[in-house]
Amino acid sequence: MQRRSCAAMGWLAALVWALLLAAPARADTSGMQRMILAAGCYDLPPAASCDAAAFCLDQARAAPPAGSRLATAPAGFGKAVVKVNGGAPLSLQAALDRHLVSIEGLGEHLRLRLRNLTHDRIAICFTAPMVVMGNGETYTGDLPATYDRMVKLLAAPSAAAAAGSTADSVEAARARLQQRLWDVVNDADAKANEALSRQIFEGTLYAPPTSPPPVVMPNSARCADRMAAAVVCTGQ
Is the pLDDT reported for residue 20 higher than 60? no
- Of the candidates 94, 105, 192, 183, the residue with the CA atom closest to the CA atom of residue 140: 192
CA angle 205/207/208 to nearest 5° reads: 140
Radius of gyration of the chain (CA): 21
Q: What's the pLDDT score for residue 136?
A: 79
**Higher-pLDDT residue of 183, 2:** 183
Q: What's the pLDDT score for residue 159?
A: 43
Q: Do 71 and 135 contact (CB within 8 A), yes or no? A: yes
Is the pLDDT reported for residue 15 higher than 80? no
Is 27 strand, coil or helix? Answer: coil
pLDDT tens digits for range 42-94: 999 999 999 999 999 999 999 999 999 999 999 999 999 999 999 999 999 99
DSSP for residue 2: -
Mean pLDDT of the chain: 79
Q: What's the pLDDT score for residue 223?
A: 43
Q: How confident is the model at residue 13 (pLDDT cuts 50, 70, 90)?
A: very low
Is the pLDDT reported for residue 17 higher than 60? no
Q: Do 167 and 53 contact (CB within 8 A), yes or no? A: no
Is the pLDDT reported for residue 229 higher than 90? no
Q: What's the pLDDT score for residue 218?
A: 45
Is the pLDDT reported for residue 207 higher than 70? no
Mean pLDDT of 121-125: 98
Long-range contacts of 216-219 (CB under 8 A, 24+ apart): 216/75, 216/76, 216/78, 216/79, 217/91, 218/79, 218/80, 218/81, 218/89, 218/91, 218/92, 218/127, 219/79, 219/81, 219/127
CB atoms within 10 A of CB 50: 21
Is the pLDDT reported for residue 230 higher than 60? yes
Is 190 strand, coil or helix? Answer: helix
Q: How confident is the model at residue 152 (pLDDT cuts 50, 70, 90)?
A: very high
pLDDT tens digits for range 166-204: 666 778 888 899 999 999 999 998 887 776 676 666 666
pLDDT tens digits for range 88-115: 999 999 999 999 999 999 999 899 999 9
